[in-house]
Structure 1
Amino acid sequence: MKNQFSLNLSSVPKELKLIIEIIKIEEEKGIQEISEDLLENINWEEFLQLAMHHRVYSLLYSRMNKTSKIPSEVVQSLNRKYQKNIFKMLSLSGEMEQICRIFGESQIKSLVLKGPVLAADLYGDLSLRTSRDLDILIPFKDLSKADQVLTNLGYEKEELQTLFNDWKWKDHHISYYHPKKQMHIEIHWKMHPGASKEPDFKELWARKRTCTHFSHSVYFLGREDLFLFLALHGARHGWSRLRWLIDIHQLMKQNLNWDEIFALSKKYKSTQVEEQALILSSQLLNSYLPKTVKVRSWKLAQSAIFYYERMINLHNGDPLPLKLERYHMMYLMSLKSLSSKFLFIISFLFPTYKDKETLKLPRTFYFLYFPLRPVLVTVRKITSLK
């Protein structure tokens, strides 16, 4: 379908544009079609930093390991990271199979959301996608059983800090870490945080697929559910990792039922987010654009380019510079429907454990955290700037 507009990519670093162009070309063709102009005046150190930041170094290496156009030291650096990722993905795969098998034996239904199943399903090769941890969705009622299974396997739980036992709706996963294996696992009872509207586990389970790339069958999301999950996940993080957009591009190569996708996105009030993903994938990676999308969705897509114009790490736990934080908050609000914005404001006004750390009150007076929350948030902002 013909694009209505074009995104403004003029401020995207030349190094990232080169990475995108290399990834777009089929592996067997090498990168002979890359223009000489795009290869001129490349800062190869920044090129490598961007490849790491966007978690695309393995896929990038697979596209460029047979060409002489890239400096040999750059290829060698990517090769080292590529080899290391192979062992990481094999390790994650083995752990994923073991946990899913034991969950099944314990009568815990599980759906793997990301990790090795995406590498196998979307890329056909574990080595071509990177993953830091495992994300597994289970029914809420089985959290205690899953906790016991993981504890018996040597995992340590990261306790959720909460004032009013509000974690059930404000959070969406519990993190576990195995100190000996150095393995991270996130056990989800929802796909997304906050009071978001999404399919319940029974719906997702009814539409599940079985990944047969491993010795033990692993269940994961149906194609249409996976598209919605990846679109919402990527949008929530500003598409600040190119890997998430490439996942969308790879998934769109499969036989998706677009009528079902658009029906689900309408039902769960996320149409503009799905359209944003479609536009970004179409404009940056030449994906098929299956529909005419609204002007607002084009604006949302353009607002995400902000995250490609600079390296913004939203995942290391460090506070963002005030200017970036304000932009990100406004961006997140722009993604939401009217009802979602209302729920978001309500959840923001709900006290958190950080408020207790800022001002310690006796439990009898915890109710005061509600009117004090705006003040306490402001105090933390001012303190972080010092």
Structure 2
Amino acid sequence: MGNTLNVANIPEELRLLLELVKIENNKDILKRFNKKEIDWDLFLDLTWHHRLFPVLYPKLKKIEEQVPPFVLKTLQAKYQENTIHMLQLTATMINISHALRNNQIRTLFLKGPLLGLELYGDISLRTSSDLDFLVPLEDLGKVENLLISMGYVKDDYFQSVLGDWKWRHHHIAFFHQKTNTKIEVHWRLNPGPGMEPCFNELWERKRTNLITGSPINLLGKEELCFFLITHGARHGWSRLRWLLDIKYLLNQELKWSVLSKLLKKYHYLHLGGQAIILSSQLLGVSIKREMESLIRGTRAQILAQESIFYLERMVNLHTEPLPDDIARFHKKHLYSLQSFQQKTLYILSIMYPYPTDLETLPLPKNLHFLYFPLRPFLTVWRITKKTAYSRRAKE
């Protein structure tokens, strides 16, 4: 399968973690590593960063005589804490699903405890910090009112000009202080601009999971794979948990004609190839005949190699501000992920007014259409002002 990924610069502790995740029979794994040279504190940091401790703890428990006691004790505590959290999140998911259904709001849960059941067979084997679900855009106001009535507070606010939030953003967060639960309500799978299946398309192919007897709607398997591939790629596969999700999903029965059609229709075939290459070379997924068409050529291989950058540096994209070198690389990588059509949409989107235009020159709402012809001038004004400010700061 093409070229082998260059992983020469990833730390030895990450190699150990990958081997533990890759192989089911772990009995002799540590014999391949010099245990005296393993930085077990770094190993623990990596298991937390990549959110893989729930999967690793049961494996290391089987060979506990080969692992320092403090490592196993730390993983055990994290594993137990996560199990309790996932049970609480499951109860919250059932409660919210029931409330939405009673209000005739169609809902598709995206991640959370359902992924633990669907992919790992056990909610305790996967982490999830919050609940994500998708609703039709036209029902967003109803969902917000319902969540507020249930004690949730909106945790996300963004300015918008001429309704650009509908396609520039893709979710809004809510937080419940008493239960310490975060919810992300999606109206798109991914932020725009970009094309993706509409809600009705996803709803037509939904599945229903009867968790604890309560029906929960979720994406069809191929649509779930589409979502996990695009989500993981957008985050540089910087957390291996997302890649492990792909591994478990690829090992299930998928309708590859449906998945390939989805990826091709929305210009993501190269991201499908990237995910397959990474999951194969890092996590040992067997390449099936149906996957081969996605990994032909060099583009998927190049994108897969670029993702190793995030693993080498243990990049956390959720911690801002990012170091300058990482921010530059990530911006360039996101652009390289886009197809020609997506790049065209992105360039066109730059011409659409931004909230910064509103800050630069406040206009009444009925005159917001003027931001279209004014945008180039406002952009030049901001750049000029910023340059002048930098010069004064240096003097």
Residue in structure 1 matched with residue 261 of structure 2 by the alignment: 263
* Aligned equivalents of 1:377, 1:62: Cα separation in 2: 55
TM-aligned CA deviation for residue 369 of structure 1: 5.0
Counterpart selection for 2:42 from 41, 46, 60 = 46
Residue in structure 2 matched with residue 297 of structure 1 by the alignment: 300
Alignment of 1:64-83 (within 5 A): 64-67=60-63, 68-83=65-80
1:97 and 2:98 aligned: no
Residue in structure 2 matched with residue 363 of structure 1 by the alignment: 363
Counterpart selection for 1:287 from 285, 288, 303 = 285
Residue in structure 1 matched with residue 327 of structure 2 by the alignment: 325
- In the alignment, structure 1 segments of 5+ residues that lack a partner are none
The verdict on how the C-alpha distance between 1:111 and 1:288 changes in structure 2, with shifts beyond 3 A counting, is same
* Aligned equivalents of 1:6, 1:373: Cα separation in 2: 44
Q: How many residues align?
A: 377
Counterpart selection for 1:237 from 215, 235, 238 = 235
The verdict on how the C-alpha distance between 1:349 and 1:34 changes in structure 2, with shifts beyond 3 A counting, is farther
Secondary structure of the structure 1 residue equivalent to 2:161 = coil
CA contact (8 A) 2:360 2:378 kept: no
Cα deviation digits, residues 296-353 of structure 1 (max 9, x gap): 110110011111101111113x121222111111101111111101212333454444
The verdict on how the C-alpha distance between 1:350 and 1:326 changes in structure 2, with shifts beyond 3 A counting, is farther
Secondary structure of the structure 2 residue equivalent to 1:176 = strand
Structure 2 counterpart of 1:291, which letter?
E
* Aligned equivalents of 1:7, 1:286: Cα separation in 2: 13
CA contact (8 A) 1:15 1:47 kept: yes
Structure 2 counterpart of 1:373, which letter?
T
Secondary structure of the structure 2 residue equivalent to 1:217 = strand
1:310 and 2:313 aligned: yes
TM-aligned CA deviation for residue 295 of structure 1: 1.2
Residue in structure 2 matched with residue 334 of structure 1 by the alignment: 336
Residue in structure 2 matched with residue 127 of structure 1 by the alignment: 124
The verdict on how the C-alpha distance between 1:252 and 1:38 changes in structure 2, with shifts beyond 3 A counting, is farther
Cα deviation digits, residues 54-94 of structure 1 (max 9, x gap): 11111111211121211110111111111110111011111
Secondary structure of the structure 2 residue equivalent to 1:59 = helix
CA contact (8 A) 1:351 1:370 kept: no
Structure 2 counterpart of 1:282, which letter?
S
Structure 2 counterpart of 1:143, which letter?
L
The verdict on how the C-alpha distance between 1:64 and 1:88 changes in structure 2, with shifts beyond 3 A counting, is same
1:7 and 2:13 aligned: no
Residue in structure 1 matched with residue 379 of structure 2 by the alignment: 373
Counterpart selection for 1:175 from 173, 176, 185 = 173
Counterpart selection for 1:23 from 21, 34, 58 = 21
The verdict on how the C-alpha distance between 1:218 and 1:361 changes in structure 2, with shifts beyond 3 A counting, is same
The verdict on how the C-alpha distance between 1:271 and 1:235 changes in structure 2, with shifts beyond 3 A counting, is same
Q: Higher helix proportion, which one?
A: 2
* Aligned equivalents of 2:351, 2:129: Cα separation in 1: 32
TM-score between the two structures when normalised by the length of structure 1: 0.92
Residue in structure 1 matched with residue 109 of structure 2 by the alignment: 112
Residue in structure 2 matched with residue 347 of structure 1 by the alignment: 349
* Aligned equivalents of 2:76, 2:165: Cα separation in 1: 42
Secondary structure of the structure 1 residue equivalent to 2:191 = coil
TM-score between the two structures when normalised by the length of structure 2: 0.90
* Aligned equivalents of 1:111, 1:119: Cα separation in 2: 16
Task: Give the alignment's Cα RMSD to 1 decimal.
Answer: 2.2
- In the alignment, structure 2 segments of 5+ residues that lack a partner are none
The verdict on how the C-alpha distance between 1:10 and 1:104 changes in structure 2, with shifts beyond 3 A counting, is same
The verdict on how the C-alpha distance between 1:377 and 1:36 changes in structure 2, with shifts beyond 3 A counting, is farther
Structure 2 counterpart of 1:287, which letter?
V
* Aligned equivalents of 1:145, 1:38: Cα separation in 2: 58
CA contact (8 A) 1:133 1:184 kept: yes
Higher Cα Rg, which structure: 2
* Aligned equivalents of 2:115, 2:258: Cα separation in 1: 21
CA contact (8 A) 2:16 2:33 kept: no
CA contact (8 A) 1:15 1:46 kept: yes
TM-aligned CA deviation for residue 355 of structure 1: 5.9
Q: Which moved more, 1:159-168 or 1:333-342?
A: 159-168
Structure 2 counterpart of 1:371, which letter?
F
* Aligned equivalents of 2:382, 2:53: Cα separation in 1: 41
CA contact (8 A) 2:151 2:176 kept: yes
TM-aligned CA deviation for residue 281 of structure 1: 0.3
Cα deviation digits, residues 118-162 of structure 1 (max 9, x gap): 001000111110001000001111111111110110111133322
The verdict on how the C-alpha distance between 1:8 and 1:375 changes in structure 2, with shifts beyond 3 A counting, is farther
Structure 1 counterpart of 2:135, which letter?
I
CA contact (8 A) 1:120 1:213 kept: no
